[in-house]
């Protein structure tokens, strides 16, 4: 160790004239030492906080996983158009999670405006302090009815809902063991960590592996199986009936995340669990459980209002006792400001609208099918799946970012690149989500732009991935990829042909035989450009 620095006041003390004799019993030297101020300041160097921040960022830049956020401002009256930082620069958005365009639906917007005028902008605090408003209760009643469960509970987001519910529930169950799909969302993983419970991770959609893990424990051991219906980055679908059957066999409860499915699947928009019993759900009275249905077998459903419903917020739907327990114990619910009145009102309006309208779901699904077919014809590699997600495989973080930048700068098309840790290294991709408002002309421009970018960057086509043995389903045999994509084995789409026909015929009758067409005209770019000019 280096010698300690001298006290800065030492010279002054030593040179000061003596004003009195030494105290009795002390020598002059001891008295001088006693009069010297003592410094308790550490002589160690200060930790380099800023240097640590920069080192972490440098690591992100080095492995090309640093996230860049684009300035994209979606235009309510011109969906799916947006402008960049320059309001005159219009782009077509192809990657929004506002899957059905509900954020601009006049029914939703008008409900929010009315609530804003009546109740103001804010909630005023937590529900315990500021009050349990009628709109909170109405929204939770709508969600419970939608999912045919006894009760529902709102959170500020579905990340919070998953974290708070899993951590609270599994810490309350003695010796609980959690079984989690390998591809589960970060919010569920966070909740599992915070619970402190023992966990096992099973291979994605691998029910054989899950059963091997479950079989290690007695039926009397509390167990929770956490999985998703639609996995957002791959578009694969969870094997809900098989997992529910295993849960019953081994004494577990099921926790199903329907975030990327609510609003879009099932005849009323309750998600994939409802879609399994499509015809029965059509005829059963609203809100009443359907005995033996897949939806009835799921114990806990978690969802969001921030995607297909076009608002913000998360929720759970389950039995009354479970919901009340989470309400009473979860810090993520108790100690945070509740959703404000305009949000609640807009969410109620959106849920009710999509409960009765098939138009948006029909258009989204047909547009997704058309885009996937066009990409296949062009040799653009799409990760196979039966849902509305269109993951275009690039396989390299830097070039995925370059492809996204080129589409935006040169073609006025916004598609965000997805890299690690959201997806595995080597599986970087562009994630495309067709919506009801994407016209045929927009789709043609997208295909042409992707083809151009693929040529200029020398990116691998589907045939190239096949020659290399394939990756995440691309270039692999159908039998091999079907092990992971989920849904019904041998069925290509969640929305089957006869269900799309039913949705189409329903809307034709409901709207007086008005043809179902995209919400945006083919000449939207010219119209918007003229308006903005």
Positions annotated as catalytic residues are 307
Q: Decide if 361 contacts 489 (C-beta within 8 A).
A: no
**Which residues lie below 8 Å from residue 39, measured CB to CB, with a gap of 6+?**
7
Distance, in Å, from the CA atom of 224 to the CA atom of 202, rounded to the nearest integer, reads 13
Distance, in Å, from the CA atom of 445 to the CA atom of 427, rounded to the nearest integer, reads 25
Distance, in Å, from the CA atom of 21 to the CA atom of 432, rounded to the nearest integer, reads 88
Distance, in Å, from the CA atom of 301 to the CA atom of 238, rounded to the nearest integer, reads 13
In this structure, are strands 253-257 and 223-228 parallel, antiparallel, or unpaired? parallel
Q: Decide if 464 contacts 457 (C-beta within 8 A).
A: no
Q: How far is CA 21 from each of CA 25, 34, 83, 470, rounded to the nearest angstrom?
A: 11, 14, 83, 92
Q: How many CB atoms neighbour CB 141 within 10 A?
A: 14
> Which two structure tokens, joined as six digits, stand for 340?
């404000």
Q: Which helix or strand (DSSP H or E) is residue 269 part of?
A: none
Q: Decide if 229 contacts 202 (C-beta within 8 A).
A: no
Distance, in Å, from the CA atom of 413 to the CA atom of 485, rounded to the nearest integer, reads 28
Instruction: List b or e across 380-414, with b for residues whose CB sees 16 or more CB atoms inside 10 angstroms.
Output: bbbbbbbbbbbbbbbbbbebbbbbbebbbeebbbb
Chain centroid to CA 9: 60
177 beta partners: 198, 223
Q: Decide if 514 contacts 504 (C-beta within 8 A).
A: no
314 beta partners: 155, 304
> Which two structure tokens, joined as six digits, stand for 323?
């919901």
């Amino acid at each position: 160790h280096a010698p300690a620095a001298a006290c800065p006041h030492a010279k002054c003390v030593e040179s000061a004239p003596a004003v009195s004799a030494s105290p009795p019993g002390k020598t002059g030297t001891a008295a001088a030492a006693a009069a010297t101020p003592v410094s308790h300041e550490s002589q160690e160097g200060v930790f380099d906080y800023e240097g640590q921040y920069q080192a972490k960022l440098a690591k992100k830049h080095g492995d090309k996983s640093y996230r860049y956020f684009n300035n994209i401002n979606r235009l309510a009256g011109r969906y799916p158009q947006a402008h960049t930082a320059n309001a005159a620069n219009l782009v077509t958005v192809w990657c929004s999670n506002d899957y059905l365009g509900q954020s601009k639906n006049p029914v939703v917007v008008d409900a929010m405006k009315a609530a804003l005028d009546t109740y103001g902008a804010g909630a005023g605090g937590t529900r315990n302090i500021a009050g349990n408003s009628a709109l909170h209760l109405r929204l939770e009643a709508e969600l419970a009815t939608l999912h045919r469960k006894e009760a529902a509970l709102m959170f500020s987001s579905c990340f919070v809902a998953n974290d708070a519910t899993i951590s609270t529930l599994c810490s309350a169950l003695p010796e609980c063991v959690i079984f989690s799909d390998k591809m589960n969302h970060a919010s569920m993983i966070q909740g599992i960590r915070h619970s402190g419970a023992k966990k096992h991770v099973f291979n994605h959609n691998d029910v054989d592996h899950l059963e091997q893990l479950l079989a290690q424990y007695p039926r009397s051991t509390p167990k929770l199986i956490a999985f998703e219906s639609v996995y957002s980055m791959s578009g694969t679908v969870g094997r809900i009936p098989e997992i529910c059957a295993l849960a019953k066999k081994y004494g577990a409860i099921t926790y199903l995340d329907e975030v990327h499915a609510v609003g879009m699947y099932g005849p009323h928009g309750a998600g994939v669990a409802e879609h399994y019993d499509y015809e029965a759900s059509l005829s059963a009275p609203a809100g009443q459980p359907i005995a033996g249905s897949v939806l009835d077998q799921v114990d806990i459903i978690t969802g969001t209002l921030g995607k297909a419903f076009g608002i913000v917020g998360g929720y759970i739907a389950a039995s009354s006792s479970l919901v009340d327990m989470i309400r009473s114990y979860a810090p993520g619910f108790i100690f945070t400001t509740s959703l404000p009145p305009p949000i609640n009102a807009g969410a109620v309006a959106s849920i009710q609208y999509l409960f009765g309208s098939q138009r948006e779901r029909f258009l989204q699904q047909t547009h997704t099918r058309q885009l996937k077919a066009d990409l296949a014809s062009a040799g653009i590699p799409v990760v196979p799946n039966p849902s509305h997600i269109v993951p275009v495989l690039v396989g390299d973080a830097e070039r995925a970012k370059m492809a996204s930048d080129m589409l935006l700068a040169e073609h006025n098309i916004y598609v965000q690149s997805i890299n690690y840790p959201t997806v595995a290294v080597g599986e970087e991709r562009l994630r495309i989500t067709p919506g009801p408002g994407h016209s045929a002309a927009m789709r043609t421009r997208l295909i042409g732009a992707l083809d151009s970018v693929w040529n200029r960057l020398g990116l691998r086509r589907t045939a190239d991935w096949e020659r290399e043995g394939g990756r995440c389903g691309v270039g692999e045999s159908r039998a091999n990829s079907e092990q992971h994509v989920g849904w019904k084995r041998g069925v290509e789409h969640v929305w089957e042909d006869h269900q799309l026909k039913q949705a189409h015929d329903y809307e034709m009758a409901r709207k007086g035989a008005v043809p179902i067409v995209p919400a945006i005209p083919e000449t939207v770019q010219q119209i918007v450009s003229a308006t903005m000019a």
